[in-house]
Amino acid sequence: MKNPLKGIKGIKVIADENLARHTSFHIGGRATHFVYVYTKRALRIVLARIHLLKMRYFLIGAGTNLLVADRGFEGVVLKLGGVFKRVSHRGCLFRCGGGVLIKDFLDVAISACCAGAEFMAGIPGTLGGAVKGNAGAFGYSVSDLLKNVIVMDRNGTESLRTNGEIGFAYRHSEIRDGDIIITIYLKLKEERRSKILARVKANLASRQEKHPTEYSAGSFFKNPPGRAAGELIEHCGLKGLSVGGAQVSEKHANYLINRGQACANDILALAGKVKKIVRAKTGIRLEEEVIILK
């Protein structure tokens, strides 16, 4: 298969890559080209080449909030590494690359005795993905900590956006699909490490008690206003409902799990059944939180 990105320094290209290897669902077809990008210059050149060749592209983080279609993705899947995985800070103001894992950021914050991000303990994924989807838990969201971000658009142009310019809402931001968050600034506050660690430990214990361990993408549906999606699904008697290798978790009803042999179509069919039954019984329309890539 011809490499359309040949000759670009600061990248690694894998042809016909199995995307199931890169998602927490362990489901999905293949990407025509899977590209690790290690520098800003390389990212700019890659985006220009993609634009020139009129190719589709998608940025993948840790693949923890993603369902890839069985037929895969015809185009370029980008993954940030190198400079995009760095964390630095001055006091409790943190500068993080978009590819930094939430866990790695939290480890640095704890070491620096900086508090405020404890609610993120146990949330999988990258900071870039967390900002794009305004990830959160325990009543807090990334938007509560974010100062500003630097975004590179599909033309390779960088722009600084403040918290107020991002258009945050519940599990949502107005950062456009195709724009890539390359740098994130987060403001925390100084506190004793022992207190921070105690809250992290409590949050991790809570997540481990409530959340399934099978292959999944976390909460599949957004919580409707004033309601919890998991409670609605459980109230409708749907725990354990299955299609093929996909099942509504017996432990947490807002988790659709891959029991080991599920395909994307199984998950989508199960999600469709859940939405239809919940709408019929409650009048509430559930909306997917998980990104569907096809």
**Which residue spans of the chain are classified as CATH 3.30.465.10?**
84-210
Pairing of strands 66-68, 291-293: parallel
Which residues contact residue 208 at a Cβ distance below 8 angstroms, ignoring those fewer than 6 apart? 122
**Which residue spans of the chain are classified as CATH 3.90.78.10?**
229-293
Catalytic residues: 171, 219, 289
Res 2: pLDDT: 86
Res 65: pLDDT: 94
**Which residue spans of the chain are classified as CATH 3.30.43.10?**
11-80
At 89, the amino acid letter reads H
This prediction's pTM: 0.94
Let me know the angle formed at the C-alpha of 154 by 151 and 160, rounded to the nearest 5 degrees: 20
Distance (Å, rounded) from C-alpha 35 to C-alpha 100? 17
Res 261: pLDDT: 94
Sign of CA dihedral 92, 176, 294, 291: positive
Distance (Å, rounded) from C-alpha 290 to C-alpha 161? 25
Distance (Å, rounded) from C-alpha 234 to C-alpha 197? 33
Architecture of the CATH domain 229-293: Alpha-Beta Complex (3.90)
For residue 211, give both structure tokens.
């959340």
Name the H helices within the chain. Answer: 40-52, 102-111, 127-132, 193-210, 229-235, 264-282
Distance (Å, rounded) from C-alpha 128 to C-alpha 61? 7
Mean pLDDT by 10 residues, the chain (294 residues): 92 98 98 98 98 96 97 98 98 98 98 98 96 95 98 96 96 95 98 97 94 95 95 98 98 97 98 98 97 96
Contact 115, 51 (CB under 8 A): no
Distance (Å, rounded) from C-alpha 243 to C-alpha 241? 7
Pick the CATH number of 11-80 from 2.60.40.1930, 3.40.50.720, 2.60.40.10, 3.30.43.10: 3.30.43.10
DSSP 288: B
Distance (Å, rounded) from C-alpha 113 to C-alpha 93? 12
Name the E strands within the chain: 11-18, 30-37, 57-59, 66-68, 73-80, 87-90, 93-97, 114-115, 136-137, 140-141, 146-152, 158-162, 180-187, 189-190, 242-243, 246-248, 256-258, 291-293
Residue count of the chain: 294
Distance (Å, rounded) from C-alpha 146 to C-alpha 163? 6
Classify domain 84-210 at the CATH topology level.
3.30.465
Res 239: pLDDT: 98
**Site of tokens 């009543």:** 139
